[in-house]
Chains A and B, each alone.
Chain A
Amino acid sequence: MATAASDLDTHVNYLNANYGVKSWLLTTDHKRIAILYLVSITLFFLVGGIAAVLMRIHLIEPNGAIFEPGAYNKLFSMHGILMVFFFLIPSIPAVLGNFLVPMMVGARDLAFPKLNLLSWYVYMVGGVLTMYAVVGGGVDTGWTFYTPLSTTYVNTNVLSAAFGVFVAGFSSILTGLNFVVTIHKMRAPGMTWFRLPLFLWAMYATSLIQILGTPVIAITLALVAVERLFHVGIFDPAVGGDPILFQHLFWFYSHPAVYIMILPSMGVVSELIACFARKRIFGYSFVAFSSVAIAVISFLVWGHHMFVSGQSVYAGIIFSALSFMVAIPSAIKVFNWTATLYKGSISYDAPMLYALGFIGLFTMGGLTGLFLATLATDTHLHDTYFVVGHFHYIMVGGAMMGYLGGIHFWWPKITGRLYPDGWARLAAAIIFVGFNLTFFPQYMVGYLGMPRRYAIYPPEFQVLNVMSSAGASILAVGYAIPLVYLIWSMRYGPPAGPNPWGAKGLEWETPSPPPTENFEETPVVTEEAYAYGK
């Protein structure tokens, strides 16, 4: 071990270039900022995860095992707000994207390094404000902040939570802006658009949504604050507002936000499948353009959250048709990934298990979306646990599996060390099993009619709830294992070398961990991405 450590210290890299708290908190190195984000989002994930575990324990009993309804409402609100705004949205873009976008295009850093550091501080301010809302008594509006409940009727910390989300949104905008400019202007010589790794196409599409969509949620939450503070009638009909207006504005951002969470994972999965099947991605341009298509169509489907809200039947019909359209590019991706495996040379390292898990769970999550895009079935399933199951298949089954797959894939690059592969594969298997046991019963109980956000429920739903809670405990173990061995590997893992997976891509052509300037000299790109035939 001692020799291993000295091996890594022989080259100057971004981790040992300088030391001390200040060198981290004032860094403009995109790789260090990625680490700052990694630590922060992991903390928020832990808090949000503990809330989830407590909810699942509570729901073992039909009358609720632990909490009063008010406390339960605060738990699911905190779970939703933290997981959506402070974990999933920043997860892959802010951690892996920050680390990889400059390296993959062959640049020394992002276009605006100081802006990048600012985005982390903005994110942390948002996080602290939101945690202040949680610690100072909680917030019980759900992550959706529906009006007039949030503006007039609840007495909890709506303002600080909404302000936290508002502030964190700017970090998302700044990151998106940085990526778009970097991908446009800082590609190494020879790195044409169609030589870009598909991860970058996905990050590009995601960034567009972040830049265009996030201002809308910011404005919406600001309007909530105005109505709550000054009783200006915007959303509450008692003072002359329109509650459905809020829903339009909220979902105009929050549906595209779902694609902020899933598109980056799709990008990661393209990289993983190519590497571990040693194949170029089947139908590269179809996969690339489907990312852009998803980003564009995602802005046109928000009304499917409102089929039963009292919006007109005709609006419902149009939003239903558009929602089906967004299913097509997602299907194209799944088929192309599967076809990439054909005649490949497939190995089953841990990242690949996460990638294959992603395809399976995303397929199930995407297909159950059809039930909700269909007007007649959505009428029955809307606001039930079916919806909870559906979006967890996408966000946890999809986004989270992609994130973990990416973390496992690039961990040797980020830290310079390998983690124990056996444990990693075991964790992937446990997560897959635990995930399905947690969320598949939710589809079933939703079809039976169990509403979401219920602190207590009729006894005939208990069996499925107990199954779900049992699955959640397995899932929690599955998430705890990587936390342990990844931290362990930072000190004790064997050195990884520059390219432990035999992967293609500029990031693998530089030492692990990379030097501060990424490349000793600017790389020149002469071949397509995924040139695994050579």
Chain B
Amino acid sequence: MWQGFSIRPDQASTIAQGVDYLYYFLTAIDLSFTGIIFLAIFYFAIRYRRRSEQDRPEQIEGNVPLELAWTLIPLGLVVVVFLWGTSLFIRNSRPPAASTEIFAVGKQWMWKLQHPEGVQEINELHVPVNQPIKLTMTSEDVVHDFAVPAFRIKKDVVPGMYTTLWFQATKTGTFHLFCDQYCGTDHALMRGEVIVMEPTAYEQWLSGGIRGGTMAEAGAKLYDQLTCITCHGTGRGPSLAGIYNKPVKLNNGSTVIADDAYLRESVLYPSAKIVEGYRPIMPTFKGQVTEEQLLQLIAYIKSLTPPEGKATK
């Protein structure tokens, strides 16, 4: 029963220690206030216990300076905590530019993970140590949540949209991956492991696991099968080369960034946002492509380079 017992979770990512310092600070605030209240209650309870039924204690209306003190001091403290927690949160939400991208799809009750090199895993995520990893995640059914306590990270995995999460592991080992959002019958079984490896061991593992091509190559095959080329590339539809993460002008005059979310939407709901100068003639591919295939298509679009330097449409 005591096996593996500890009162502090592993600190295995670059952000874990920062979160823990704030946690300790909050614990200190909690203990001091609880201590003050408990001591005051115990002291008053003994000092002013009823000695006779005839006691008629002197009545005190209140004390405005005291009210101000116990309003403003806690207020000051929570402002400090708010600023600290918020700046840490913003920093922890921004993946470094050099991050390796990995894709996760949640599904009742398993995790499917895809490396850009083409390796796919289920309920296991192999990553190299000391390397920032960015996860792009979505769900095939209900809301799940990707949580790795040792990294102090967590994000809901929501159907119909992409959420992202990033971490940089600081030590090798195997760490729990939990689904933290209740997702139905086998929610408690939707668990996995993050396996952090030395970079050389990771490379070796990666090369041993590749069966098909990279994600972009798989995407290219799909692009072919779904005959996207008959429009995109012939002028009937906008060219997709070099548009990834670039602004796209729409026929209603506004501009969107052609990011993962926009590309996904355009495959599933083509008429939602029409590129300026084109007619809404694209059929929906909803039901024909899975979430994983969508990610492959996006990886392929991302890999396309702009023709002769011009990057619009």
Give me the interface of A with B, judged by CB distance under 8 Å.
69-70, 72-73, 140, 142, 144, 146, 148-149, 152-154, 236-238, 242-244, 277-280, 282-286, 308-310, 313, 316-317, 320-321, 324, 327-328, 331-332, 334-336, 338-339, 341-348, 356, 359-360, 363-364, 367-368, 370-371, 373-377, 379-380, 382-384, 444, 447-449, 451-460, 462-463, 466, 502, 532-534
Contacts and interface: CB of A to CB of B under 8 A. Distances in A.
Interface residues of B, number: 88
A201 B48 CA distance: 28
Contacts of A280: 59-61
A356 B43 CA distance: 13
A408 B41 CA distance: 21
Given A243-B160, A447-B9, A459 B88 contact: no
A149 B57 contact: no
Nearest to B187: A453
A414 to B, nearest CB: 24
Contacts of B142: 146, 148-149, 152-153, 243
Contacts of A462: 1
Contacts of A457: 188
A451 B147 contact: yes
The 6 closest A-B pairs by CB, nearest first: A449-B149, A237-B160, A460-B4, A374-B85, A375-B89, A345-B55
A321 B53 CA distance: 48
Given A449-B176, A451-B178, A463-B5, A376 B89 contact: yes
Contacts of B7: 444, 447-448
B183 interface: yes
Contacts of B34: 360, 363-364, 367
A74 B143 CA distance: 19
Nearest to A244: B158
Interface string B251-280: 000000000000000000000000000000
A111 B86 CA distance: 48
A256 to B, nearest CB: 20
A208 B123 CA distance: 48
Given A152-B142, A383-B154, 11 more contacts: A73-B187, A153-B184, A280-B59, A282-B62, A343-B58, A344-B48, A360-B41, A376-B85, A447-B7, A451-B188, A456-B188
A370 B58 contact: no
Contact of B71 (A332, A347, A379, A380): A332
A62 to B, nearest CB: 9
A301 to B, nearest CB: 13
Contacts of B49: 345-348
B81 interface: yes
B2 to A, nearest CB: 6
Contact of B89 (A316, A334, A346): A316
A94 to B, nearest CB: 29
A447 to B, nearest CB: 7
A309 B99 CA distance: 22
A348 B51 CA distance: 12
Contact of B57 (A338, A348, A370, A533): A533
